[in-house]
Structure 1
Amino acid sequence: MIDFYYWPTPNGWKVSIMLEECGLDYRMVPINIGRGDQFSAGFLAVSPNNRIPAIVDHDVDGEPLPVFESGAILMHLAEKTGRFMPKDARAKKELLEWLFWQVGNLGPMAGQLSHFVNYAPGKHPYSKNRYANEYNRCLGVLEHRLSNREYILGDDYTIADIVSWPWVLIAKPLGQDLTEFPNVQRWRHAIKVRPAVQAGVNLGKEYRRSAGPDEQERQLLFNQKSRSKP
């Protein structure tokens, strides 16, 4: 059994999709990031960065194993199940490159763009344009990569696809038309119709926000500084 600490966000969807794709037994533990659940001592013991997603894998030798950060979780689950990760050394090298590309480029750029689109509309045009351009650039990188292959690594669907796909799913709400990226459009659709992907995205949909955060939630979400203790 896996305890899955989750809130419905693109970062959370990466792991919910992987759990569904692998058919693993898991228990969702909602972490309400607008209420501050991520700062509890119990969650800090699992995720030192106070961010979702995180897991605790009870199906391991020895003590239950906590894993935080979505890329690390996907690698752990891929190695655990022997699925969605190539065994060939050269292909695995490429998988790691694209995994780190997502966590260092596509995800952060889309996440920052989302902030200025959804939580500070019209307030910081330079910042919004900066991240919109970087998000567009990342989609161009992905478009080129997919120009002669079905998935990011070729014929096989892997965690390289799973980790990047949620940030492309939300392109339209971020103001990015995908018609200039036909290969990305095709790839996005091919993944979207997978039953496990649909189940992963729908997980916890009852928790999705229907309105913007109030002032207390904004303080919790956007104005945190170090909580270091001597």
Structure 2
Amino acid sequence: MIDLYYSATPNGHKMTMFLEETGLEHRIIPVSLSKGEQFKPEFLAISPNNKIPAMVDHAPVSGNQPVVLFESGAMLLYLAEKTGSLIPGDLQGRMEVLKWLFWQVGGLGPMAGQIGHFNVYAPEKVPYAIQRYTNETNRLYGVLNRQLAGRDFIAGAFSIADIACYPWIVPHQAHGQDLAQFPHLQRWFHAMAARPATIRAYRGMEDVYTKAEPVSAEARKILFGQTAS
């Protein structure tokens, strides 16, 4: 049994997509970010970076000790290796998947997250920040668009690279991006959206970057006002 500590963010959606694709037995434990549940001691024992997703695998392939993980990229790689699915077994294929997985966690996610923040959650418009992150996200969309030219999926066959990237393209409007400008990316995006596992993972879930309601001062402090102290 896998315990998934989850909120409906792009990184949270990565994990539910994987679990729906593979059918792994799991239990979802909701974490309310706006209420500060990510700072509870019992959650910090699992995810010391106070971020979701996090997981505990109570039935690892070897050993009796549960495997505890945070960071969605590490979690996707662990589960792919555990199940022997969604990552190739050969060296070249594996490296092709891993470089795009790390591209997402190191580039697409952080940059898209920043423009999502400044477009949706910032209390005032900051023109330089909006231009900076809109342009960089646009560049990254272009990188992915070129990679998908002549390919059904990012690394050739469907893999954890696709699962990692898709949730960060879902809020493209909040990113200030028009998918019509990226035809290969747009075709892939619609194919991903039509997968039964994707539909199940997103059913009843609204992406956090599409929310229009204002954030309360208390929730804003919890979400965006934390420091080391």
Contact kept, 8 Å, 2:115 with 2:174, in 1: the verdict is no
Structure 1 distance, partners of 2:93, 2:215, is 43
CA shift, 1:205, in A, is 5.3
Q: Percent identity?
A: 48
Structure 2 distance, partners of 1:31, 1:122, is 27
Structure 2 distance, partners of 1:203, 1:167, is 18
Q: Which runs of 5+ in 2 are unaligned?
A: none
What are the Cα deviations for residues 48-67 of structure 1, in whole angstroms up to 9, with x where unaligned?
A: 11000011001122121111
What are the Cα deviations for residues 111-154 of structure 1, in whole angstroms up to 9, with x where unaligned?
A: 00000010126520100110000000000000110112111111
Report what 2:107 is aligned to: 105
Matches within 5 A, 1:171-210: 171-202=172-203
CA shift, 1:210, in A, is 6.1
Structure 2 distance, partners of 1:112, 1:206, is 15
Contact kept, 8 Å, 2:8 with 2:205, in 1: the verdict is yes
Relative distance call for 1:160 and 1:147 in structure 2 (3 A) is same
Helix, strand or coil at the partner of 2:149: helix
Report what 1:169 is aligned to: 170
Matches within 5 A, 1:12-91: 12-60=12-60, 61-91=63-93
Contact kept, 8 Å, 1:7 with 1:204, in 2: the verdict is no
CA shift, 1:212, in A, is 2.3
Structure 2 distance, partners of 1:129, 1:140, is 16
Helix, strand or coil at the partner of 1:114: helix
Contact kept, 8 Å, 1:6 with 1:54, in 2: the verdict is yes
Contact kept, 8 Å, 2:14 with 2:164, in 1: the verdict is yes
What are the Cα deviations for residues 28-70 of structure 1, in whole angstroms up to 9, with x where unaligned?
A: 1111000000001111111111000011001122121111100
Structure 1 distance, partners of 2:104, 2:85, is 19
Structure 1 distance, partners of 2:33, 2:189, is 28
Q: Which runs of 5+ in 1 are unaligned?
A: none
Matches within 5 A, 1:138-157: 138-154=140-156, 156-157=157-158
What are the Cα deviations for residues 62-97 of structure 1, in whole angstroms up to 9, with x where unaligned?
A: 121111100001001101111100011011111111
CA shift, 1:173, in A, is 2.9
Amino acid corresponding to residue 108 of structure 2 in structure 1: L
Structure 1 stretch displaced more, 208-217 or 34-43: 208-217
Contact kept, 8 Å, 2:5 with 2:54, in 1: the verdict is yes
Contact kept, 8 Å, 1:8 with 1:203, in 2: the verdict is no
Report what 2:213 is aligned to: 211
RMSD between aligned residues: 1.7
Aligned residues: 226
CA shift, 1:209, in A, is 5.6
TM-score by length of 2: 0.94
Structure 2 distance, partners of 1:74, 1:3, is 14
Contact kept, 8 Å, 2:171 with 2:207, in 1: the verdict is no
Helix, strand or coil at the partner of 2:148: helix
Structure 2 distance, partners of 1:16, 1:203, is 13
Contact kept, 8 Å, 1:7 with 1:53, in 2: the verdict is yes
Amino acid corresponding to residue 114 of structure 1 in structure 2: G
